[in-house]
Structures are given as C-alpha cells and as structure tokens.
C-alpha cells in the first residue's frame, strides 16, 4: 500500500471512530473553558478555533468561556498599575477593573471571535453584563488567624462570584446557530462590574444550560496520580479521596472542585484536558481513548 493510501486509510478510520460520538452528542451543549498556553500560541489558537467550528458543523453546540490573566497583567504593567494577589486572586480596584473589562470584554473576546469566524464559524462575543447574563455578588475572603477571635475579612475589590445565570441570551444565540464566546465579567445589583474566575463561570454556565460536558483546557495532561500518571476516568467519590490524600492539590484543586460542582448539579461529565495538545478537543470528544481526565458524579 502506498503512503497516500495508508494516510487515507488512517483518515477513514478516524472518521469512522468519530461517527458514534457525533450521533450520540448531536444537539448537545458543550461548555469549553479556553485559557492557558492555548490562548497565546498562534498554532494552538487556530487549531482551537477550527475544532470549535467543526463541533458546530457536526451538530454540537459549543459555548466558549475564556480567561485572560496574562493579557490583563501585561496591560497593567504597560500602564504602570501595580498588581497585588491575595490567595491567588487579583485584587481588583476600580482602575484595575477598567483594565479587566478592556482586556476581557474587548481585546481577548474579540480576538477569539475573529479566530472562529475566520475558520468559517459564526461567533458572537458577550460579557456577563450583556443581557444581564451573569448576575454577580461581591466575593470576600476570610482568613483565620490565631491572634484573632474571629476570621479576618479581606476585601479584594471588584472580584465576584456567580449568583445567577440568565440563559435566555445564550439560548437565543445557540438556537440562531451562533457560537457564544463569553468574557467572565458579571454585573452586580447596582450595575457594578465584577471580575470572576473563568473556570467558575464556565461551570455555572454549564449547570444553567444543562450541558452534556464541561471541558476545562489546562496546561497539564489532566489529574495525575501519586506516580504522575494521568487518571483517565474518575467519579466524584474517587476525586474526594484523592483530595483528602493530598494527591490533588494546589493549582489543580480549584479546577477539580469546579468540575465536581458541575457534575453534582446536572452536567453529565466534566473533562480536564491538556490544551497544549493539537486538536485536544476533538481527541477528547470523538475518539475512544480520549485525552485528559473525565469526572462523573457518583
């Protein structure tokens, strides 16, 4: 068999393997959190956009939620606005919030929209403020101290948590065959803006839409065991045990908790996958082996 024939045979095999998944997931909603290296590497950017368009063309309904921490940090440095973090969260005063809105709601959001549209999709960019999409409340941190009788309350400014998701905006876009691209900015009761962790926004949107899958793109292969091997499938009880043992810790803990909450609230499964792998979305959704870690309730 010639090299061309072998290549064609492999392509046909891949397409055949994808067919049952296309049939199974037709009409289903997939919420994808897009961030990390996949957002800054040009080849990965174009591959991600192409994968999202393909998902839509074969009958799935992708919804993209994006981050943008490095881009926010870069602009703050340019503007010589000091940055401070408390427990991994950016302290967001009014001046910083203006930059967050400019970067997330403008530059990053519209870049992703353009990438998807260039690949033949129909993407529409929104923030959580559009159509009252994400109702937010102020997030305050509590820190316990041996010197204090009560926990210390720390104000980190315009940082919020999701109070409610208004799905009407997203459902209208999905039903009109558009791909929503969402910047994680919420609106408070008095119209004030809040910066919200993109993983949390993605999880809450997946819950509100009753999504088939929540997919969190990361810079790691997924959840690793004590020997640094990827755990391909876990239920919530197994995840809780790994957290208790300290196997899941540090940076992976918030993502894992986000996935756990989503599957506990009706999302069929959550995937934590390596966004630095080309076509990681397609490998996860349309192949038998998949990629990364799948979490289900149970």
pLDDT in tens, 203-261: 999 999 999 999 999 988 889 888 888 999 999 999 999 998 888 887 788 899 999 99
Q: What Cα–Cα distance (Å) separates residue 112 from each residue in 29, 116, 122, 212, 278?
A: 19, 6, 11, 23, 17
Indicate the pTM of the whole model.
0.92
* Angle ∠(14,59,201) on CA atoms, nearest 5: 105
Domains annotated on the chain, with CATH:
25-296 (3.40.1160.10)
Q: Residue length, the chain?
A: 298
Rg (CA), the chain: 20
Rounded Cα–Cα distance for residues 85 and 12 (Å):
50
Q: pLDDT by residue (tens digit) across 12-26?
A: 677 788 899 999 999
CA 39 remoteness from chain centre: 12
Token code pair at residue 220: 């790691």
Rounded Cα–Cα distance for residues 294 and 298 (Å):
13
Q: How many CB atoms neighbour CB 141 within 10 A?
A: 14
């Amino acid at each position: 068999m010639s090299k061309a024939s072998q290549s064609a045979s492999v392509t046909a095999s891949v397409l055949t393997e994808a067919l049952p998944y296309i049939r199974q997931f037709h009409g289903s909603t997939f919420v994808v959190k897009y961030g990390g290296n996949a957002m800054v590497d040009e080849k990965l950017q174009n591959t991600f956009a192409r994968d999202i368009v393909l998902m839509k063309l074969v009958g799935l309904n992708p919804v993209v939620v994006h981050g943008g921490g490095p881009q926010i940090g870069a602009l703050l440095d340019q503007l010589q606005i000091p940055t401070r973090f408390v427990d991994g969260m950016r302290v967001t005063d009014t001046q910083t919030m203006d930059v967050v809105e400019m970067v997330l709601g403008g530059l990053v959001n519209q870049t992703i929209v353009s990438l998807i549209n260039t690949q033949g999709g129909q993407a529409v960019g929104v923030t959580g403020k559009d159509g009252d999409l994400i109702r937010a409340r102020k997030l305050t941190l509590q820190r316990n101290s041996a010197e204090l009788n009560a926990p210390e309350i720390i104000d980190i400014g315009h940082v919020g948590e999701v109070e409610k998701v208004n799905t009407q905006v997203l459902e209208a876009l999905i039903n009109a065959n558009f791909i929503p691209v969402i910047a994680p900015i919420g609106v408070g009761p008095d119209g004030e803006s809040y910066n919200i962790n993109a993983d949390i926004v993605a999880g809450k949107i997946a819950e509100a839409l009753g999504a088939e899958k929540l997919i969190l793109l990361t810079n790691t292969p997924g959840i690793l065991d004590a020997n640094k091997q990827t755990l391909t499938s876990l239920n919530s009880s197994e995840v809780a045990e790994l957290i208790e043992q300290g196997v899941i810790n540090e940076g992976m803990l918030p993502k894992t908790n986000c996935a756990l909450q989503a599957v506990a609230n009706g999302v069929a499964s959550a995937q934590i996958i390596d966004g630095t792998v080309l076509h990681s979305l397609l490998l996860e959704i349309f192949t038998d082996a998949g990629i990364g870690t799948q979490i289900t309730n149970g």
